[in-house]
Amino acid sequence: MSSTLSFAFLRRHPAHWVALGFGSGLAPRAPGTVGTLWAWAAYLILDRWLGNGGWALLLLGGTAVGWWACTRTAQHLGIGDPGAIVWDEILAFWLILWVWMPAGLLAQALAFGLFRYFDAAKPGPVGWADRRFKPQPGRPIGWREGFGILFDDFVAAFCTLLVLALGVAVWQ
């Protein structure tokens, strides 16, 4: 963990708590994977109390708050899409699980693996979405770039769900 990314940085602004996934983004290695694992555990806990309406509200509200939090945190770090920002992985994986559940542990692990592949490798449409909102050299990080932090992960979630749906169709 760099000196910039620390628990002190996390405590400096409420946006940092959200954008850094309540600390999961501070993982020294693979923060996106750690954030996605945090999302998986949080989903299994929260799903006991949230129905479809609750999940829809949480995802919509989380996207709005996340746009603000990711934008502010990227601005404070001076990086367009810092790896420590994991709220995008959290929201996207919650969306996947919301659509995919109920599913057994193996099917959940498959969804996790597919999502991590699409998010990290950024093939096809995910790469396009990632490049679409990158900061322009010499221009400040703004709301457009903050939206881009979330957007490519939502595209990765869509790709994951598409592959899962195609897999279900083939197996039936």
pLDDT digits (tens, 9 = 90+) for 42-93: 999 999 999 999 999 999 999 999 999 999 999 999 998 999 999 999 999 9
Portion of the chain with pLDDT greater than 90, in percent: 91
pLDDT at 1: 46
Identify which of 59, 33, 21, 46 has the alpha carbon closest to the alpha carbon of residue 115. 33
Q: Is the predicted pLDDT of residue 138 greater than 70, yes or no?
A: yes
**What values do phi and psi take at 44, rounded to 5?**
-60, -35
The span from the CA of 52 to the CA of 99, in Å, is 10
Q: Which residue has the tokens 């609750």?
A: 54
Q: Is the predicted pLDDT of residue 147 greater than 70, yes or no?
A: yes
Q: What angle do CA 128, 89, 59 make, to 5 degrees?
A: 105
Portion of the chain with pLDDT greater than 70, in percent: 98
Question: Where exactly are the structural domains of the chain?
Answer: 7-171
pLDDT digits (tens, 9 = 90+) for 6-39: 889 999 999 999 999 999 999 999 999 999 999 9
The span from the CA of 44 to the CA of 54, in Å, is 14
The span from the CA of 114 to the CA of 27, in Å, is 21
Q: What is the mean pLDDT of residues 143-153?
A: 96
* Average pLDDT value over all residues in the chain: 95
The span from the CA of 74 to the CA of 15, in Å, is 10
- Looking at the chain, the number of H-run helices and the number of E-run strands are 8, 0
Q: Is the predicted pLDDT of residue 134 greater than 70, yes or no?
A: yes
